[in-house]
Amino acid sequence: MILLDIITQKDPTMNFNQQLEKILSQNAKFCDNNNTLLKQNIKSSALNFDEDLIELLLNDEKTKEHFFKDIKGVTLFDYRKFIDFIDDKNFLQDSYTKFSNKIGLTISNKHIKQIDDVVLSFPFKDCLLEGGQTKDDQKRKEIFFNETLAKDEINRLLDKKVIANATRYYYEDEELKESQDIKFTKDSNGVIKDNLIIKGNNLLALHTLKSNFAGKVKLIYIDPPYNTGNDSFGYNDNFNHSTWLTFMKNRLEIARELLSDDGVIFITLDDNEIAYLKVLMDELFGRENFIADVIWNSRKSVQNDTIISLATNHNLFYARKKAILDKNDFRLAVDESKYKYDDNDGRGKYKADPFDAPNIRLNLTYPIVNINTQEEFMPPKGRCWRTGKKEYQEFLKDNRIIFGQTGKSKPQLKKYLNEEKNKGSVTTTLWSDLDTTTNATKHLEKIFGKKIFDTPKPENLIARIIELSTKPNDIVLDFHLGSGTTCAVAHKMNRQYIGIEQMDYIENVTVERMKKVVEGEQGGISKAVNWQGGGEFIYFELDKYNQKFIDDLSMANDENIMDIYEDIGKRGFLNYDVELKEIDRHLEEFRALSLEDKKEFLVSILNKNMLYKNLSEIDDEDLGIDETTKALNEDFYSHSPKV
């Protein structure tokens, strides 16, 4: 090892490495606050042919010679060569890298975690492929803990997981009660009918639900991380673009399997990734199944620190199979307060709609005579009537036209309440009449006595989506549950629901909110739907294995990090290529690493196929699963009816 270090120091490429590090450090966006280079940012910039990066490399003769080609007077950036160089294990030789090299975590001169044959990313924070974040303060700029998974191991990763720590919350004798004696309620087909709140990785939880709920979910609503470049949503949504799309693709593929043939999905997003998500959804769900991009006026106040103030969010709306949908099922309740008139003609109350339309068409431009005053007039300049002359005559004959008694009052078309109530009210792609995120924030503040999230979704937004696309008792799924708005609204509207969240706040925010809903909480849509409380839900967790060690590492300090190291050595499920004896041989060098490097290394050696306990291994004594948990899983995964 000493000889290798001496040879390496004499290697001229080391000088080039140092020179390249110095060049890249000139731009702050390639460094963290400690001026440490961020490989992922650099690689992402190379893939996007970032002008700042290219300019830095061109301004130095050695880097220009190394990473650029001159073809007939045209200078071309060899980005693949550049990325390979960045990925090389000898680049950025910090103490962590040297330690990893010594214990053999490299193949073909690259770190195992950088090989991209079959790669899933497991960052220190949430929302990259499988994701492992459980606390808001686990924030990183770099992508950590990437692991190579052989193709034949993917099925094991996505296998059904053991569920544990189940509690039923219910309202009885005018008080909230709870029970750990769980028996799932099932219909005649063996499908679970209980409301479920699940703590655990959402990708793995979705695959766990497949055996019970594939083809059964009527509505999926999600409010995923927006990839905005900040952490205001409690997620690490500062992804590079391609990784964010991979993260979404993994989850949407399994989500599609859970939808019923007549099911639909809504995804709320802002401008950052909406265009790319639309293309991804076209690929996954089929362009023919796109229904609408509904724009929601999410913000009324104006931001003065930006070029254009953000005021809206998108809601992408897709069907599982649009061709079989009945459009009359997608109607909202009619606002009866708008029907103010009744001329006692036996057809009930009506409202008067403007008879002119915003687009000029010659066949809709003709003179109309006010039968009360005999005055003749044309539509206003630049506008036209809503109907053609023949249809107007039919409306006139049917007493559907209203004229003023004096002056040039525009003709009005009667729209009867009974007629609209029979068909329902057709919504549009612009929702500007709903609450904003500010309203939702204040609602949560009233519940918890403090600010919980910056941008929660208001209950009446979710209520409109649920009303538009479901009927009572239909199943609603949200696998980015956050504060629990989707489940809260579904509960009040008598829909069955499934909510998934892996953040630790699920216990003191999401579940606590749902308990208050059961008790009759009166915020949000409660008054509109006359919510008085009641009902029940079951909370359970995916049973952690290696994820428990990752959680412990996220909170580790200098005093207990070695205890966790020993615990991992005794009980952890390690990667097949890791030998503890080899690590122990270099234990003093491990001790010399920084706390963050120790954490990263220990997470890197854990087998990510075993973050949670697999159902297929529930009887393995090493997993230590008790009989109560085994019975819970037998009931959950059994498809026999329970009444």
Where do the domains of the chain lie?
2-151+551-593, 164-331+429-542, 336-423
* Cα angle 424, 213, 613; round to 5: 145
Question: Does 402 or 434 have the greater pLDDT score?
Answer: 434
pLDDT of residue 144: 30
State the average pLDDT over residues 381-410. 80
Which tokens sit at 137?
A: 């303060």
Phi-psi region of 476 (alpha: psi -120 to 50; beta: other; left: phi over 0): beta
Per DSSP, 164 falls in state: E
CA 611, CA 542: separation in Å to the nearest integer? 10
Note the pLDDT tens digit of each residue in 193-213.
999 999 999 999 999 999 999
267: which strand partners? 222, 316
469 membership: H or E segment, kind and range? helix 459-469
pLDDT of residue 232: 34
The answer to whether the CB of 212 falls within 8 A of the CB of 636 is: yes
Question: Does 94 or 616 have the greater pLDDT score?
Answer: 616
- Residue 471 amino acid letter: K
Residues 6 or more apart whose Cβ sits within 8 Å of residue 353 = 386, 412, 413, 415
CA 360, CA 386: separation in Å to the nearest integer? 10
Band (384; pLDDT cuts 50, 70, 90): confident
Q: Is the pLDDT of residue 624 over 60?
A: yes
Note the pLDDT tens digit of each residue in 115-145.
443 332 323 323 334 444 455 544 433 333 2
Per DSSP, 526 falls in state: T
Instruction: For the chain, give the mean pLDDT.
Output: 83
CATH homologous superfamily for 164-331+429-542? Answer: Vaccinia Virus protein VP39 (3.40.50.150)
Neighbours of 220 (CB within 10 A): 26
Q: Is the pLDDT of residue 366 over 90?
A: no
Nearest to 478 by CA among 430, 514, 444, 443: 514
Nearest to 207 by CA among 550, 638, 615: 615
pLDDT of residue 340: 76
pLDDT of residue 364: 83
- Backbone φ and ψ for 363, nearest 5 degrees, come out as -70, -10
Q: What percent of the chain clears pLDDT 70, i.e. is strictly above it? A: 81
The answer to whether the CB of 115 falls within 8 A of the CB of 136 is: no
Which tokens sit at 218?
A: 């009527």
Q: Is the pLDDT of residue 436 over 50?
A: yes
Note the pLDDT tens digit of each residue in 475-534.
999 999 999 999 999 999 999 999 999 888 999 999 999 999 999 999 999 999 999 999
CA 103, CA 1: separation in Å to the nearest integer? 11
3-state secondary structure 317-359: EEECCHHHCCHHHCCECCCHHHCCECCCCCCCCEEEEECEECC
Burial class from Cβ neighbours inside 10 Å (0-12, 13-18, 19+) for residue 188 reads exposed
> Can you list the alpha helix ranges (DSSP code H) found in 59-177?
61-67, 79-87, 95-102, 154-157
pLDDT of residue 125: 28
Enter the pTM of the model. 0.73
Note the pLDDT tens digit of each residue in 537-567.
999 999 999 999 988 998 899 999 999 999 9
Note the pLDDT tens digit of each residue in 318-356.
999 999 999 889 988 877 777 777 777 777 787 777 666
Nearest to 194 by CA among 230, 232, 154, 166: 166
Residues 6 or more apart whose Cβ sits within 8 Å of residue 120 = 129, 130, 146, 147, 149, 157, 608
Q: Burial code of 588-601, b = ≥16 C-beta within 10 A, e = fewer?
A: eebeebeeebbbbb
Note the pLDDT tens digit of each residue in 16-72.
888 898 999 998 888 876 777 877 778 878 887 889 999 999 999 999 999 999 888
CA 309 to chain centre: 23
The answer to whether the CB of 247 falls within 8 A of the CB of 239 is: yes
**Strands 217-222 and 259-269, how do they pair?**
parallel
SS3 call for 267: strand
pLDDT of residue 97: 66
Q: Is the pLDDT of residue 641 over 60?
A: yes
- Rg of the chain's alpha carbons, rounded to an integer? 30
Residues 6 or more apart whose Cβ sits within 8 Å of residue 609 = 149, 153, 156, 157
Where is average pLDDT lowest: 138-152, 320-334, 364-378, 604-618? Answer: 138-152
Note the pLDDT tens digit of each residue in 231-273.
333 344 445 566 777 788 889 999 999 999 999 999 999 998 8
pLDDT of residue 153: 56
Length of the chain: 643
Q: Is the pLDDT of residue 173 over 70?
A: yes
Where is average pLDDT lowest: 363-377, 589-603, 605-619? Answer: 363-377
Residue with tokens 């997993």: 623
CA 399, CA 344: separation in Å to the nearest integer? 12
pLDDT of residue 276: 86
Which tokens sit at 405?
A: 């008694």
Where is average pLDDT lowest: 74-78, 145-149, 296-300? Answer: 145-149
Band (386; pLDDT cuts 50, 70, 90): confident
Phi-psi region of 515 (alpha: psi -120 to 50; beta: other; left: phi over 0): alpha
State the average pLDDT over residues 400-413. 74
